[in-house]
Amino acid sequence: MSPQTLPQFIGGERVGADASGESRNPSNTDEVVARVPAGGKAEVDAAVAAAKAAFPAWSEASPEVRFDLLDKVGDTILKRREEIGRLLSREEGKTLPEGIGETVRAGRIFKYFAGEALRRHGQNLESVRPGVEIQTYRQAVGVYGMITPWNFPIAIPAWKTAPALAFGNTVVLKPAGPTPATAAALAEIIWECGAPAGVFNMIFGPGSMGAKLVEHPDVDGVSFTGSQGVGAGVAQAAVARQARVQLEMGGKNPLVILDDADLDRAVMVALDGSFYATGQRCTASSRLIVQDGIHDRFVAALAEKVAALKVGDALDPATQMGPAVSEDQMETSYRYIDIARSEGGRVVIGGGRLKLETPGWYVQPTLIADTDKAMTINNEEVFGPVASTVRVKDYDEALAVANGGEFGLSAGIVTTSLKHARDFQRRARAGMVMVNLPTAGVDYHVPFGGTKKSSYGPREQGFAAVEFYTQTKTAYSWA
């Protein structure tokens, strides 16, 4: 398949296809998926100016106009799920069912936020003073700058863009380097479905371009999903000029398995949470905290399933786990496996390099047992198919270990005890808690986000998104 050449999407014009960058198929690295223009400050300035110029008309358009656009975008994505899902899997490396599943999720997100555009978000209140009435409005904020990661190359752009547009804002989105073609497919659809010029812009370029976007004085709000290190800098730059900012970053998500757990359920939950999507989810279960009595049976049963996982080309129907997205990510996994070994972890399964017939960034799914909560492997995010186990004596110790560390995105427990499940729901220091479910794989119509260093600012998604993408105005009147 010959590579696509992508343009910049700025103010209704497809411009600047100089094609100096590229994305590759991680399942077969000989294959270039797309050639990408390398933008810089000029593209950021042009896109922000276009978004700013489009804001007054878009924010004052009837909510029905915004409903129609988002609903149509959602329908179009759903209709083209096979084709876009295939492109996504070819470019990102998740399996085809995962690629199609993510595409469907993106379509559903647009349809959800189409509805949000029409819903009542303001209030009428009585004043404490006679004759005075109060109304609150939820008003659009302005131009949003968005920086999105490669691991959900259509769903994350969707869950930032759809609410921004639904509530009357305009958007400049910079997608991640490894997955530009998938992001561009979304841009094409938003434009084809009739977004007025400047309402939605997408620009491609290096990380420094993202920094320019965050620093731009006409960008009123910034939404970022990516690594904790980059996120901290994004927040600093945004706060320095009092722009709104929201960050979604890493996780080191614990999955607690208690002695009373159903073993099959525990294994299924851990396998999905740790290894599906090649472990490249900020919500992945990477710390398996296992009670003494079930520990050995659980590790043996999980190892058996991990060993049987078929790793291969993302588009091969037999594949159960695709490659890492890039050479860097592959090397990161192997580096952390080495560190875990050197600190005393026991590699139960995987751990070696994986060479298949096609040249790809394949990683052996790896389970490391006998690790201590203080080890590097239990404190730093790997973002690959690597999980470690920590043995604990009882629920209290499990909760304490789960709550350790810098992150607090998602936390899970597998148990048949209502008492422990409820207690964990209340006391796990995480933004999302899962009982007998994987830590990863969330619904699209409810809030998403974490505590501690996992997240910053208002929650994303579902009914929470209105907080970040609108500003409240309180109006008083006397007549």
**Minimum CB–partner distance for residue 157 and ligand UN1 (Å):** 12
Rounded Cα–Cα distance for residues 216 and 328 (Å):
30
Q: Which ranges in 61-206 belong to alpha helices (H)?
A: 63-79, 81-92, 96-118, 155-166, 180-192
Closer residue to ligand UN1, CB minimum distance, 144 or 152:
152
What are the angstrom distances between the C-alpha of 178 and each of 112, 158, 211, 295? 28, 17, 18, 38
Among 136, 144, 164, 150, CA closest to 52: 144
Closer residue to ligand UN1, CB minimum distance, 282 or 340:
282
Cα-flanking dihedrals φ and ψ of residue 349, to 5°?
-150, 145
- 282, 380, 460, 467: which is the annotated catalytic residue? 282
Question: Can you read off the two tokens belonging to residue 433?
Answer: 């808690």
User: Could you tell me if 203 and 172 are in contact, meaning their C-beta atoms sit under 8 angstroms apart?
Assistant: yes
Strands 285-291 and 253-257: parallel
Closer residue to ligand UN1, CB minimum distance, 347 or 440:
440
Q: Which ranges in 128-216 belong to alpha helices (H)?
A: 155-166, 180-192, 207-215
What angle is formed at CA 318 by the lines to CA 314 and CA 323, rounded to 5 degrees?
30
Summarize as ranges the residues that interact with ligand UN1 (CB under 6 A). 149, 151-152, 225, 248, 281-283, 440-442
Catalytic: 248? Answer: yes
Closer residue to ligand UN1, CB minimum distance, 59 or 320:
320
Among 423, 376, 430, 382, CA closest to 403: 430
- 92, 102, 116, 248: which is the annotated catalytic residue? 248
Closer residue to ligand UN1, CB minimum distance, 97 or 441:
441
**Run of H or E residues at 287:** strand 285-291
**Minimum CB–partner distance for residue 428 and ligand UN1 (Å):** 16
b/e code 52-83 from CB counts within 10 Å (16+ = b): bebbeebbebeeebbbbbbbbbbbbbbebbee
Catalytic: 193? Answer: no
HSE, side-chain direction, 13 A CA sphere, residue 164:
28
Length of the chain: 479
Rounded Cα–Cα distance for residues 323 and 268 (Å):
21
User: Could you tell me if 247 and 357 are in contact, meaning their C-beta atoms sit under 8 angstroms apart?
Assistant: no
Among 163, 61, 70, CA closest to 121: 163
Closer residue to ligand UN1, CB minimum distance, 250 or 365:
250
Closer residue to ligand UN1, CB minimum distance, 139 or 227:
227
**Minimum CB–partner distance for residue 438 and ligand UN1 (Å):** 8
Closer residue to ligand UN1, CB minimum distance, 325 or 348:
325
User: Could you tell me if 73 and 189 are in contact, meaning their C-beta atoms sit under 8 angstroms apart?
Assistant: yes
Give the amino acid at 304: E
Closer residue to ligand UN1, CB minimum distance, 193 or 245:
245
Rounded Cα–Cα distance for residues 72 and 9 (Å):
19
Give the amino acid at 87: L
Residue 132's CB is within 10 A of a number of other CB atoms, namely 13
Rounded Cα–Cα distance for residues 12 and 200 (Å):
8
**Minimum CB–partner distance for residue 185 and ligand UN1 (Å):** 19
3-state secondary structure of 329: helix
Catalytic residue numbers read 248, 282
